[in-house]
Chain A
């Protein structure tokens, strides 16, 4: 009996150490040790899984992949031209801001990485980039489809991010299908849906509207796609207007992500 009490006490102590570290957005020493020890086994398992997956998809879908490759090359060429245009316009914006005595808009860069661990039951992912690579708590983790997660704890060369579907995540969002856009905040509801609460209960919103980040925060820039409205819940007596949002990112299908620094 004493032994079991001791085991429970160990678990409680470790939890306390973890909570203290998380309060300052740091990874606790126990989790750090576990992650360091398990990393070689995890890399090995990931290698086997990815190898098998690539072999299967390549073998079964070689013709489509050739066509997709051609299409992607064409897209890359088009993006090159678009990037040139964006750079020119950004330069013009900077010049105009200088005329108005406004500071330049802080630049954002993407740090591309792979998902090294995926824990859907606790709405978390691990990524093999951390403080040394410029990752900070609160930074958004995106995929080409849109916002995927928010960095929560940062270690030297690894980080953990909470998925957008986590009830602990709260992101400033707006409905850009409306003019002017309706703003509010978005919270994870369950593993499939997000809840968008509008600041203005009389704001217009309807099924199919596109929701993006509002940019009212230190780390998350404006305009990252979050998802589309699938249901609207109006409670005028409570002065509330909420919408259910289907996330744009297919959670579970993601391998590569970008951290927006």
Chain B
């Protein structure tokens, strides 16, 4: 193995590990951790915190994987979840390509944007009857993920240093 491959390998390993943990938490710890309409979406959180370390296509791919995991666990429509999360990954990937300086505020905002884009595309592909409740839940999740993204982004930053070089 070449020395240059190591960061990529580390990134892939951390991505797989985070998606695995997020999948487990999404299944068992999302509802107990919810506060009224504020429920976390751990899989979209992973998409947003990994975006600064990935090219746009990489973010979209992680988005697709998160959609497959969420749809697969819930037995929900894999096409709708897959495509909506591709767009979420694409949006957050584009956001981080604009050379934003990493900060807690940017992490929180990108987590919120990931949720809003992902859920908006999901609503478009798989319309729901009660749009008001869906919008309220989406806003709640965007805020929740925004808060969770701050410590997670800091922790990921400690493990995956030098994002500009990795990109």
Contacts and interface: CB of A to CB of B under 8 A. Distances in A.
A70 B108 CA distance: 49
A214 interface: no
Interface in A1-41: 3-4, 7-8, 10-12, 14-18, 27-28, 30-31, 33-35, 37-41
Given A14-B68, A190-B129, A38 B73 contact: yes
Nearest to B31: A118
B72 interface: yes
B53 to A, nearest CB: 18
A122 B133 contact: no
Main SS of chain A's interface residues?
helix
A143 interface: no
Contact of B28 (A27, A37, A49): A49
Contacts of B73: 31, 34-35, 38, 42, 117, 119, 126
Contact of A38 (B27, B33, B82): B27
Contact of B82 (A11, A121, A191): A11
Residue of B29, B33, B69 ringed by the most chain A CB atoms within 10 A: B29
A249 to B, nearest CB: 14
A88 to B, nearest CB: 42
Contacts of A40: 24
B94 to A, nearest CB: 12
A14 B82 contact: yes
Interface string A188-206: 0111000000000000000
B90 A126 contact: no
B51 interface: no
Contacts of A7: 60-61, 64, 82, 86
Nearest to B76: A122
Contact of A30 (B30, B34, B68): B68
Contacts of A189: 129
A124 B72 contact: no
A41 B71 CA distance: 17
A125 B49 CA distance: 28
Interface in A152-184: 152-153, 160, 167
Given A34-B23, A117-B73, A45 B29 contact: yes
A160 B80 CA distance: 19
B25 A15 contact: no
Interface residues of A, number: 49
A49 B32 contact: yes
B105 interface: no
B28 A4 contact: no
Given A4-B57, A41-B24, A27 B64 contact: no
Contact of B83 (A8, A44, A45): A8
List the 10 closest A-B pairs by CB distance, nearest first.
Answer: A41-B24, A15-B79, A11-B82, A34-B72, A119-B74, A46-B28, A38-B23, A117-B27, A31-B72, A42-B24
Interface of B: 20-21, 23-25, 27-34, 39, 57, 60-61, 64, 67-69, 71-83, 86, 90, 129-130, 133, 137
16 contacts: A8-B86, A12-B82, A14-B68, A18-B71, A18-B79, A30-B78, A31-B75, A34-B69, A38-B20, A38-B24, A41-B23, A42-B24, A43-B24, A116-B27, A124-B75, A252-B34
Given A8-B83, A14-B82, A15-B77, 20 more contacts: A7-B86, A10-B82, A11-B86, A14-B78, A15-B80, A18-B78, A28-B78, A30-B68, A34-B23, A41-B20, A45-B27, A45-B28, A49-B33, A116-B28, A117-B27, A117-B28, A118-B27, A118-B31, A120-B31, A126-B75
